[in-house]
Amino acid sequence: MAQLDKVLLDLVTPMVDDKESLSVKEMPSANNREIVLHVYAKNEDIARLIGRKGSMASALRQVMSVASHNEDKKVTIKFEEIQ
């Protein structure tokens, strides 16, 4: 089983300024066929990760769906701001 939280963390780490406050956690889902990943970062970094009109977030979701293909599960990524 791939550790999708670590894969996503490796993808987003080069994109943020404050690497110390960045974290990715896998959360339980009500659906067995879904994996929910939460990305926690500072406000400026969250804006960078989401991108204009959500283009970066969309690209991250697309890459993660390919990474989860072997597990036959849907990946949901949520971005959360930390203080």
Q: 18-50, pLDDT tens digit by residue?
A: 999 999 999 988 888 899 999 999 999 999 999
Q: How many domains does the chain have?
A: 1
Can you give the CATH number for the domain in which 67 is found?
3.30.300.20
* Angle between the N-to-C axes of helices 4-12 and 55-67, in degrees from 0 to 180, rounded to the nearest 10: 140
pLDDT number for residue 1: 40
Give the residue numbers spanning the domain of 61.
4-81
For 40-79, the pLDDT digits (tens) are 999 999 999 999 999 999 999 999 999 888 888 899 999 9
CB 5 within 8 A of CB 12: no
Q: CA 30 to CA 79: how far, in whole Å? A: 19
pLDDT number for residue 2: 58
What number of other Cβ atoms are within 10 A of residue 1's Cβ?
Answer: 5
